[in-house]
């Protein structure tokens, strides 16, 4: 899976700095705490050998109606799909609209945050390649 999501974190640089974050975090869900690591690229669909069937790759399936551009450009809100993964069951938390203050490395105090400063975690089971997988994912 190349990316789970891509959105903007509003950290102020000039007026505000658009951080487009293309990050996926996948781990095995065995115990708490769960260690995070970059999702391996091996979830791409393998080329079948010896006329074996192709069941697709083990990458999580995106939300069909949200990912036309490979993005998840739907801010977290009541009564919307909060998961980034389709065919998923498990723990999920989502938040958006962060605001705060901070400072750059020159000591300049600046505000950060936009309505799309949006984070989540998803920890549980997803279905891909015709089998269940366990994983923990972060949307930044």
Partner 1 sequence: MSGLTFSSDGKTATLQMTNVPIIDQPRWPAMDAETTPAFLDFRLVFASTDEPVKYEDPMRQYRFEGFKAIAKLEASVRVPSIDFAFKTDPLDTSKCDFAVMGEEVNGRYYEASKT
CB of 1 to partner 1, least distance (A): 15
Rounded Cα distance, 23 and 44, in Å: 16
Give the DSSP letter of residue 65: T
What minimum distance in Å lies between the beta carbon of 54 and partner 1? 19
If DSSP codes are grouped into helix, strand and coil, which group holds residue 43? helix
Nearer of residues 33 and 53 to partner 1, judged by Cβ: 33
Closer by beta carbon to partner 1, 50 or else 79:
79
**Binding residues for partner 1 (CB under 8 A):** 8-9, 11-14, 17-23, 25, 27, 32-36, 38, 61, 63, 65, 75-83, 85-105, 110, 112-113, 115, 117, 119, 121-125, 127, 136, 138, 140
Alpha carbon separation from 121 to 25, 55, 85 (Å, rounded): 10, 27, 11
Residue nearer to partner 1 on the CB measure, 14 or 49 = 14
Min dist CB 49 to partner 1, Å, is 28
Q: How far apart are CA 95 and CA 50, in angstroms?
A: 47
Q: State the nearest-atom distance from the C-beta of 67 to partner 1, in Å.
A: 13
Nearer to partner 1, 51 or 107 (CB): 107
User: What are the distances in angstroms from CA 12 to CA 15, 104, 108, 114, 118?
Assistant: 6, 9, 10, 10, 15
């Amino acid at each position: 899976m190349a990316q789970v999501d891509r959105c903007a974190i509003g950290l102020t640089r000039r007026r505000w700095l658009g951080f487009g974050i293309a990050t996926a975090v996948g781990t095995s869900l065995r115990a708490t705490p769960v260690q995070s690591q970059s999702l391996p690229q091996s979830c791409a669909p393998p080329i079948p050998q010896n006329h074996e069937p192709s069941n697709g790759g083990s990458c999580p399936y995106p939300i069909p109606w949200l990912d036309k551009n490979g993005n998840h450009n739907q801010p977290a809100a009541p009564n919307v799909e909060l998961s980034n993964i389709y065919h998923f069951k498990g723990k999920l938390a989502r938040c958006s609209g962060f605001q705060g203050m901070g400072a750059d490395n020159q000591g300049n105090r600046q505000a950060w945050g936009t309505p799309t400063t949006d984070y989540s975690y998803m920890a549980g089971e997803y279905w891909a390649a015709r089998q269940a997988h366990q994983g923990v994912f972060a949307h930044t």
